[in-house]
Amino acid sequence: MNDKNLEICEIFSSISGEGLRSGTLATFIRFSGCNMRCSYCDTKYHNEVSYYLDIDYINLNDNLLKKLKNRKFVIITGGEPHCQNHTKLKKLIDWLLKNGTEIIEIETNGKYLDIFIKLLSKYHQEQKVCFSADFKIEYLKDYEYIVSSHLGYEKLNKNDCIKVIVKSIENIEAARKIANRFRNTNVMVSPCYDMLSPTEIAEYIIKNNYQNLRMQVQLHKILWEVNAREK
Ligand code: SF4
């Protein structure tokens, strides 16, 4: 966490491409920076900063805030939103909910999920804020540590989801293990492109009757080019 103004990479409206609200029109706020370096990252430009937002001095004529007013569904993503100043991030969320937003989905890589849930616990309970938290399967060697520690996954509910990107059949098995462990939420598997096809995932889930897994394809990668921006 730092004390700087909020650093925003881009703001745009599009169709939510993944998670429980896939297919819904949303306004995206993509924050800059990330604390991980995933090989399959599809937002490698996330370190760019297009706007600095000083939420402590809100100017209602600010063009940036005009873009965010009266947006029913807002997705806060990255990069990793956790890398921003938490107090300022919370103030932005307060502002959005007072200015027409009904639900905010926070996409996070999950590394500091517990901290996020504590910060936004009231809104989370009121179902005004929900989480879409990755479970990075490549760190599976840490699986036992992750599930036995209080990293926040156990606080997710049916309004949230855990996203698992799978590269192999073994990864689907691991996702099933995660779903068995965190039964209060939804576990969604999606293919790592070029490594496993959606059809292979679907057939494996059907063959094994894995009723606690949901699969998704990243809709935005079907609608637009894989690395398209601001769509
Ligand atoms: S956590 Fe997300 S934004 Fe960060 S490197 Fe991994 S895929 Fe990219």
Q: Is the pLDDT of residue 3 over 70?
A: no
Domain carrying residue 63 = 6-223
Dihedrals φ, ψ of 187, to 5°?
-110, 120
Domains: count for the chain: 1
Pocket test for ligand 1, best of 30, 109, 220 (most atoms within 8 A of CB): 109
- Structural domain contains residue 231: no
- Structural domain contains residue 210: yes
**Measured in angstroms, how far is the CA atom of residue 27 from the centroid of ligand 1?**
20
- Structural domain contains residue 135: yes
Reported pTM: 0.91
Q: How far is it, in rounded angstroms, from Cα 126 to Cα 106? A: 15
Share of the chain above pLDDT 70, in %: 88
**Measured in angstroms, how far is the CA atom of residue 108 from the centroid of ligand 1?**
9
Supply the residue whose CA is at minimum distance from atom 6 of ligand 1: 38
Which of 80, 139, 164 has its CA nearest to residue 115? 80
- Structural domain contains residue 26: yes
Confidence of residue 41 (pLDDT cuts 50, 70, 90): confident
Q: Which CATH number do you get for residue 118?
A: 3.20.20.70
pLDDT of residue 209: 97
Which of 153, 76, 141 has its CA nearest to residue 111? 153
**Measured in angstroms, how far is the CA atom of residue 47 from the centroid of ligand 1?**
11
Residue range 67-83: mean pLDDT, rounded = 94
Helix axes 198-208, 169-181, angle to 10 degrees: 60
Which amino acid is present at 204?
Y
Q: Is the pLDDT of residue 20 over 80?
A: yes
**Measured in angstroms, how far is the CA atom of residue 209 from the centroid of ligand 1?**
31
pLDDT digits (tens, 9 = 90+) for 149-173: 668 999 999 999 999 999 999 999 9
